[in-house]
Structure 1
């Protein structure tokens, strides 16, 4: 069976442009639409393995013919964004390089070209799939032609499917559109005729012409409207009709996929920053460079390996384990590399046996003259330590990749091997399988695991050679070695210590939250006058905007929105909206934390062991996952109850919380050198109250709590680059007042304004923002032609030195505190970092000594022009801190 796939390329690109958040390449050019387009094509290729396919684009001046008929056709659409226009050209370049045929006919819209190709294709193909989400295409559906909506789980719409979706046959779709119109194209249709009305008219009269001819027989307003607006319906039909007579290639060979131009395509994807897609190219996987990978599974080969490793100063290592969670993982084997193209693997489940293999590994890692390095080495170090082997990595390629490219979201070995060497590594899923068939590494044949692990250490070795040079060239060695790499063992210990969760206390909290949820749900049902599914946006929308007749403030493509933003807007006038917000907050607390946290308790240690990521946030902040303990709400009553369930495991121990006060504002004072701001902090003034006094023009003693809260929003709004409009929205004040607040603020702190402009200018000239430690964040979007993207980049240019500086500062403090805790032999230890806050678990007898130690090191981690203030709290659980 021969099939032709016709892609609505213009539709794919527009959809991706609006659906995918800002993405840019290294030159700061937008790539979001192109990324979505390419990803959709790769998925289609993977799902259907097409042999014949064509991408169809709107031609230049594509609306010219229909505009000549109706001047308002698509007139409501704004001009195409410049950054979408050049992505469309790139999409054509991609098609050329990937061997994909494409069409763009001057003065012809993509719909008409698609229709013409489909009509001709019926002669040579058994099935034709129109890959689109455009409802106009339903008029082309017949026994050979189908719509394939790849954005809805590859939904295939045949003639029966058209009738199910629209209530009319494919041959009636054109008349259906004539009646309903098409808002997306500004086709008018008939006033008051929606889908149901149009379908009922056509069901009764079969065609538009027949309905117009018998309009006098149609009762009520419908018949009158048809009589009066018949000409408009005929015009709409003319506009909606797909022209199937466009000149397009007739030979089926034109539509056949060709072999891609691999080298050029690889270069193109690299240039766009689509490193994760390179592996989908397929057969480029194996390089021409020969490799020598060895399974070490007997005494002679183990002896040779130990001699070999001792003869080299730098050794890459990698573990293979049974779990992605290091505190649950059992060691399966360890790989080593001492040069590019080589690898050695020692299994624990081979001929040597587990105990002998571990003894060999202990001997290898005990060599003091060898520098061991890895990729995401903290994971490997935790696993090895749990098996009695201690390693302090001398280099970590994942951290190096992050320091060199903090804007990149992916730093996996797979991604980097593809990016730097054009090599697609063996996927873990190729060994372990997927879904129900997934197994663990200890059950995979040893020879396969050996090849896989050797590949890992080989490419880790190659990456180190690259990254060492680049760190040197860019002056980032000090940041890398003295801060990030030095912090790795500190974070390792924090993860291994973990934190104790009182599951009985949490179960009690769950009971109370469940009761509260049921009570709020009953109140909502009473207000609604019926029961419904609170998790269904469609049902909720129907209750709010149809049954209760609430005026909807916002509409989406699928109906009236019931988002948090909409409910916040409605809550002051409609009690049901306030109750819905309350229900959603409680439900989120229950599902996100109360139900899931007990599942994270390690069965061996009876503690929760989160993972701290050093290579995620572009600012340098640490993030937490499995579970994320940084996001547990500190102000919501339920969030506080959840925190209460975290407590020291041992009697006679307490938590100590140490938190920087207004650290980013203090850094702003330091970097801007604004005298008034420096003076306020030096005098120990409440900076928010001080700001309130200035913007309201009153003496400090007369500042109210509400004024201080408003001034706090001004301080942080300016810090994060908010303008008058953004501030007005945040504070729910008028634009004039917001503008006045900002002007008064800058009049009082003039150097702050100068500093903000300086940050933007530095980013424009250098394409990056830099923290006081030298951490770089590339901001290529600063030159983007799209104003919204450019303004976002300007905010990043201002915020990065402050938020990134605060992240660097607390890391410095962590290193100093950790050293002192060890040197002074404290039993207590650090267990959590929540951005500007550190949490310790310690015996009560140590708290009085620990508190001043932590405060001293945090406040003196770096010397600024303003004093740093740290607030310390002690408690028997996290809530009390």
Structure 2
């Protein structure tokens, strides 16, 4: 029988480590997820490698512990936890529960004490113990049966501390780690130690004397020196610091080793949390699948010949695609039902069938579809122009609840208590095991999807009407799907030669920058290695150390930006990194997405994804092309019209979210500024800094701009401090001054939170809802995030509604004017058209007219436009 193994995790420490190791990430609902994601990847790795029989995650219970009785300033210097991290703790706990791992915290004690107590009990029972933390304090617990894993690079790389490793690294025993902390102190825990004693001195003293107590017993015989004076003057502090650094292994815990048995995760619960947090890569790598449910019997027939009596005036249809990349995939089959009879048509029969083509193109024949945009795009490849879409399950479900996780028919139908259809994973398998099943199984699966759409349609539409959202669905999202479908089918031409020339130019620039870096460094090294770069910058060139990681010096972008004035090499390194990313992600990435048959990219617009209603694009993502760097902006030179003598025409809303904020808050100063046509950031700087317009500096305007847009996105003092490279205190003052200067904004924020607490949701101008189940939570972190979401969602969501309405109106106006111009792209607040040069004068007149009047606000909407031979020239 294998030996028992207990795995003990330091929850707070690992969450903090993950938060600061990874960039701020958010899921589609706007919840920050970097700490939860890092914690999960660490947990996955350690579970896979260690295969424990028992597990526990320990958390700190609160700010006050028994150590504060000895020293009131214990941990007193710590900054308040960033709200972007605080909001993730409930999700980390949710993840731990889904893994079926015991978690525990104890009033007046720290996670370290819980871990120390359980480790001691386990060793007494001859159980092997592995402790995982980001805090080296725990290394004092190492024994022959206890190994302490300390995370270093990122979150998944660990250094394993055994007594032998500690001896090799420090020349000390594990228990002497406590003495070392007693002498050198610990700034992170505000343990004072002996001033002037660092790690090297502490180790030297301990090698000579053995312990703090032995050192002070022999202090009189020590040779006179400044060090001796410091030790004598701070004896009490040394003894106190050792006491504070000692992990208590007799904590009165109520959990026993028998409670910690680990048998594996609850797969359904874990998948649900991963979906909620948007951990798509983890889901794809996982072997977990949903539970296969017993299905009710379904009667359907496989069509051998398409006849007129098969096609009715009102039907649910489902076109099954090989994958979601429908511009480069094949159709697997089509099913349709009128609620009484259900038929499956094999893919080969769908192609070139005039009877079916006429029915699909007949606008008087009502079609209920799971995803009309994808279906429209797929059928267009068969020269079928889908018409008559009367219901779209994906869009209707999204409006009823934008937090629904998943877009397959099984998931959507299940939200409305219909479960007579299986997930694609169950039918096809996943990853390398994906395969099309035999025709009978495929036919039944596709038929079940059509039947699901038919049965769910009245339920969902009733819900939309009950919520007063039917107009939003029917008049905005449904027609928008048709417009977006046309845009996806149309695509935008990308000149591969231009991209390749850019790639060659960037490679040449990289070679020059590389040479400059080597000259300034005085040697060649791997610029992409943070470790080698750290040695060059901080050891060889002597630049000031701003941040350290477990493996050495931090060379992250924020660190390098702060060092630009210190040495010329830093500017070159930042430039090198930016150009390298442009080359690999955008130039090479875009070239791969160009379709050879038309030299275009056909991005897919995700219409039912974000919680705010914003569109996003994938394959490729055209919303992320970096435009701060000139080389990044130049990538837009490759986006060109489809025809000779045509131009690209770009129109974008100016500060749309701030205009929506002015409209919703009715703040007189904001409304007046927009009505007067003032620069809003200058106006904000005038009010926040209390200076006239002529005294507003570029830095003041920059700070005002960050606060303006930060307010819209519910920014915290931590987030603003990162954006402006200022202290959190200064950032908090900026925010307070802003809210004092615009009391209407403060009033709006307070009232919207109160309304959300009553209703449980917030709405946009067009009644798009976002539900906030945590708005009344007793958990401060969950409640705080819900409150920030309540403040910013109506603004972001209303801006999304406006541009969506503008797209529908523009599509109609182009047809009304009989123009050849086509709408190609939507990127953030910008619309991009292509048109013959002779139609530019008409576009200059009608585009601002349509966009500025898409929805009437209390302040004017403003549209800027330009045109040129490429997207770059049109800016």
Quickly name the TM-score band, shorter chain normalised.
0.7 to 0.9
1:132-147 paired onto structure 2 within 5 Å: 132-142=133-143, 144-147=145-148
Counterpart Cα distance in 2 of 1:713 and 1:88: 27
Q: CA deviation at 1:324?
A: 3.4
Counterpart Cα distance in 2 of 1:565 and 1:463: 50
Match of 2:863 in 1: 870
The worse-fitting range, judged by mean Cα deviation, of 357-366 and 695-704 is 695-704
Counterpart Cα distance in 2 of 1:694 and 1:14: 39
Match of 1:319 in 2: 320
Counterpart Cα distance in 1 of 2:110 and 2:688: 55
Q: What are the Cα deviations for residues 279-324 of structure 1, in whole angstroms up to 9, with x where unaligned?
A: 999798244x632357855639x88xx96x7569351524131x43
SS of residue in 2 equivalent to 1:292: coil
Counterpart Cα distance in 2 of 1:692 and 1:105: 48
Q: CA deviation at 1:523?
A: 3.3
Pair 1:467–1:194, CA change in 2 (3 A): farther
Match of 1:609 in 2: 602
State whether residues 53 and 255 of structure 1, in contact with CA within 8 Å, keep that contact through their aligned partners in structure 2: yes
1:647 is the counterpart of 2:648: no
1:537-552 paired onto structure 2 within 5 Å: 537-552=530-545
Q: What are the Cα deviations for residues 599-619 of structure 1, in whole angstroms up to 9, with x where unaligned?
A: 111122221111112233433
Q: CA deviation at 1:483?
A: 0.5
1:499 is the counterpart of 2:488: no
SS of residue in 2 equivalent to 1:599: helix
Match of 1:299 in 2: 304
1:428 is the counterpart of 2:425: yes
Match of 1:384 in 2: 379
Counterpart Cα distance in 2 of 1:291 and 1:649: 51
Q: What are the Cα deviations for residues 126-175 of structure 1, in whole angstroms up to 9, with x where unaligned?
A: 64443444434444445554446795268876666666776766676566
State whether residues 634 and 640 of structure 1, in contact with CA within 8 Å, keep that contact through their aligned partners in structure 2: yes
Pair 1:729–1:114, CA change in 2 (3 A): closer
The worse-fitting range, judged by mean Cα deviation, of 685-694 and 806-815 is 685-694
Match of 1:399 in 2: 395
Counterpart Cα distance in 1 of 2:579 and 2:395: 38
1:365-384 paired onto structure 2 within 5 Å: 365=360, 371-384=366-379
State whether residues 24 and 781 of structure 1, in contact with CA within 8 Å, keep that contact through their aligned partners in structure 2: no
Pair 1:178–1:668, CA change in 2 (3 A): closer
Count of aligned pairs: 862
Pair 1:228–1:803, CA change in 2 (3 A): closer
1:334 is the counterpart of 2:340: no
Q: TM-score, normalised by structure 1?
A: 0.77
Q: CA deviation at 1:684?
A: 5.9
Q: What are the Cα deviations for residues 836-860 of structure 1, in whole angstroms up to 9, with x where unaligned?
A: 3221112233333344333332233
SS of residue in 1 equivalent to 2:494: coil
Please point out which of 817, 825, 828 is paired with 1:832. Answer: 825
Counterpart Cα distance in 2 of 1:381 and 1:310: 18
SS of residue in 2 equivalent to 1:842: strand
1:438-587 paired onto structure 2 within 5 Å: 438=432, 441-442=435-436, 445-446=438-439, 449=442, 453=446, 464=457, 466-554=459-547, 561-572=554-565, 574-587=567-580
The worse-fitting range, judged by mean Cα deviation, of 809-818 and 203-212 is 203-212
Match of 1:3 in 2: 4
Counterpart Cα distance in 1 of 2:778 and 2:254: 36
1:290 is the counterpart of 2:295: yes
Q: CA deviation at 1:466?
A: 4.7
Q: What are the Cα deviations for residues 320-364 of structure 1, in whole angstroms up to 9, with x where unaligned?
A: 31x432211122233556669x9875544xxxx567797896587
State whether residues 318 and 446 of structure 2, in contact with CA within 8 Å, keep that contact through their aligned partners in structure 1: no
SS of residue in 1 equivalent to 2:617: strand
Pair 1:129–1:458, CA change in 2 (3 A): farther
SS of residue in 2 equivalent to 1:632: coil
Q: CA deviation at 1:872?
A: 3.2
Q: CA deviation at 1:831?
A: 0.6
Pair 1:153–1:525, CA change in 2 (3 A): closer
Q: What are the Cα deviations for residues 796-849 of structure 1, in whole angstroms up to 9, with x where unaligned?
A: 555544443332222222112212333444333111112332211122333333
Match of 2:261 in 1: 256
SS of residue in 1 equivalent to 2:605: strand
Q: CA deviation at 1:486?
A: 1.0
Q: CA deviation at 1:869?
A: 3.9
Pair 1:146–1:551, CA change in 2 (3 A): closer
SS of residue in 1 equivalent to 2:620: coil
The worse-fitting range, judged by mean Cα deviation, of 402-411 and 589-598 is 402-411
1:631 is the counterpart of 2:632: no
Q: CA deviation at 1:533?
A: 3.3
Unaligned runs of 5+ in 2: none
State whether residues 83 and 781 of structure 2, in contact with CA within 8 Å, keep that contact through their aligned partners in structure 1: no
The alignment yields a C-alpha RMSD, in angstroms, of 5.8
The worse-fitting range, judged by mean Cα deviation, of 207-216 and 459-468 is 207-216
Please point out which of 595, 607, 620 is paired with 2:613. Answer: 620
Counterpart Cα distance in 2 of 1:409 and 1:785: 25
Unaligned runs of 5+ in 1: none
Counterpart Cα distance in 2 of 1:418 and 1:769: 25
State whether residues 162 and 170 of structure 1, in contact with CA within 8 Å, keep that contact through their aligned partners in structure 2: yes
Counterpart Cα distance in 1 of 2:643 and 2:528: 41
Please point out which of 156, 168, 173 is paired with 1:152. Answer: 156
Counterpart Cα distance in 2 of 1:67 and 1:740: 34
The worse-fitting range, judged by mean Cα deviation, of 671-680 and 209-218 is 209-218
State whether residues 545 and 553 of structure 2, in contact with CA within 8 Å, keep that contact through their aligned partners in structure 1: yes
State whether residues 295 and 447 of structure 1, in contact with CA within 8 Å, keep that contact through their aligned partners in structure 2: no
The worse-fitting range, judged by mean Cα deviation, of 450-459 and 615-624 is 450-459
1:776 is the counterpart of 2:769: yes
Pair 1:31–1:723, CA change in 2 (3 A): closer
